[in-house]
Amino acid sequence: MNKAEEQYPVQSGSTFAKGIFIGGLLGAAAALLFAPKPGRELRGDLSEKVGIVTDRTKEVAAVVGDKASELAKTVSSKTSDIAKTVNQGRNDVMDSVRKASADVANEATKASEEVAAASVEAKEDARKEINSTSL
């Protein structure tokens, strides 16, 4: 051990706890000696103040509960509105896709018919050409 450790030994936890306990007792004794009111009046005042604080806490809890309930209802209605909007948008997109798909199918059918007609016409022209050259 060095000199500092010998002069100021480390106190154990129980020594510290004893000091806190003794200090608390001295503080309580001083509070009782210097209290401006007798014990009954002081306890009555404390009881009254605790009652007021309890009532106020209940009021605040009720207000918080009401606000939380209102907030939950608002969130629920907003979520429902958003879901409806998204669903409507999805339906609109699906309708547009169906219309575009039908238009493409119609155009493809028309193009196929035109190609078939042109093929028949080309076939006829080729036959006429072959027949005119062989005569």
User: 3-state SS of 45-100?
Assistant: HHHHHHHHHHHHHHHHHHHHHHHHHHHHHHHHHHHHHHHHHHHHHHHHHHHHHHHH
Q: How many domains would you assign to the chain? A: 1
pLDDT at residue 36, as a whole number: 74
Domain assignment of residue 42, yes or no: no
Domain assignment of residue 78, yes or no: yes
**Digitized pLDDT (tens) for each residue of the chain, 135 residues in all:** 567 666 666 555 677 778 888 888 888 877 766 777 777 887 787 788 888 889 889 999 989 989 999 999 999 999 999 999 999 999 999 999 999 999 999 999 999 999 988 888 888 888 888 888 765
State pTM to two decimals: 0.42
Domain assignment of residue 71, yes or no: yes
Residue type, 69: S
pLDDT at residue 11, as a whole number: 59
Domain assignment of residue 19, yes or no: no
Domain assignment of residue 86, yes or no: yes
Domain assignment of residue 70, yes or no: yes
Q: Which domain holds residue 125?
A: 52-134
